[in-house]
Structure 1
Amino acid sequence: MKLKIKFYNEGPHSALCDEEFYDAVETGLDKIEEENQLRDRLKQKSVSILTSPTTTASTHRLWPEIEKITMEQLHYARLGVGGAGGWQLFAEDGDMRMYRREEEADGLVVDPLKACHVVKGVTGHEVCEIFFSPEYRSGWEATLENMAIIENISKDTLLFLQTHKRIWPASQRDALFWSHIRRVSDDQDRDAHDLWIVCNHSTEHPDHPPNAGKCVRVYLTVCLVCQTFIDPPKDEEEIKRENITCKITYCSVG
């Protein structure tokens, strides 16, 4: 018995009718969607199996550094524009403002960057939670390839190892850093409802030495500072999303 296999040509001479063609396309798209959903579930599963922290961050060996760097970054983020040591505007687009500040570290020029923006309808806490929480990271960090939490220090402090997609011709990069989120007191802006910060800073871990494999280790210090402002509705109505504004400040060094 001979098995006949019929091959179809693509293009205008294809033997597939329109209905068969669209069914094939739909099947292919469904398969891609299933693969994406499976990949997302695997990422979520890898996050959910973390053991709960048994101590607070303040008892961890890294706490002195976490406290120092976080407060330093909060200070720099809120530093005024212009003047000696202040931020200098170099680009703007709508409500977005970009600043830089001349600075040297160990004899090298680092030139930190600062971006400021205003978003309606969300709180500062919500924005910081999305920036901090691992389950949301692949949704906004486009260059992320793999992410692992190598230590769950506390509910507000995690130790990450991230691998980023290779951009030819540069070598692939990875980063090992702690990430810390907290609400801080705001003595500069009495109109703000609250003030939150997320600070990420490179660190070291004996099980993950730098440049041990195909990746080149990058070092970073970034912070996201968010303030919530509420425009009180008239006649004591319930506060809605349209009454909420979030002022976002993002700073990056390295």
Structure 2
Amino acid sequence: MVERRTSSTVEASLTGLAVSLRGVTKTYDNGVMALGPFDLAVRKGEFISLLGPSGCGKSTVLRLIAELSAPSSGTVRVARHEGVPQPGQVLPGHGIGFVFQEPTLMPWASVRENVRLPLRLGGVPKAEGRARADAALASVGLADFADAFPRELSGGMKMRVSLARALVTNPDILLMDEPFAALDEITRFRLNNDLLALWRRLRKTVIFVTHSVFESVYLSQRVVVMTARPGRIEADIRIETVEPRGEEFRTSAAYSDYCRRVSAALAPSYSEQSTL
């Protein structure tokens, strides 16, 4: 049985959850089984990371949640907004924001117009869309760059624009597919801190894909370690520390211990991959 998602009337089994995947598999047309069977439950407002070797299905999980792909079997359920839409609210996919590895900005458009794009496509009036885009830019520290063009921005600033574009529809769930992978370490650390501050303020549900053990432990309440393809869950490790997190945690013995635990859980996947 394949079930794509719930309506705004959430089933009892989904109460308190933002996302539920049960017995999910994904096999592509070329016969490659990318995922599964895969089971995952993410609570509303939770920040989790998916960690695993290349090709293990991390991005596939995000695409299934976002309805960019259909599961071959199993159930994918996502809690939606309840109640009636607000004026100008974008309905298609409005419960989910997606940040890709590349910013994919329109070079001919201003930063504000890049952020406003989902609202424009959703039919939100121009004045309202501009105001919401400006508010989203302010939330990521780019209020002074609304009229700039992508060519005038650093790599880190472009990724902030991409994040603002994902937030402008006020999604409940934020999916992030290795958004900081191409950035230098200093910029990556800064954006890690900014993302945590944003999450504490907005309390969105965040599902974050990364190849970095250190990044996953620093950001997440849970690190979900995946096996080599077909991706399954090898370990689900809860990161318990004092909030808010900062550089004190990054340099603490507890952080090092968690990194060792996550690395140990990840090791079998790389051993399995090396024998393929």
TM-score by length of 1: 0.23
**Larger strand proportion of the pair:** 1
Answer with 1 or 2: which has the greater Rg. Answer: 1
TM-score (norm 2): 0.22
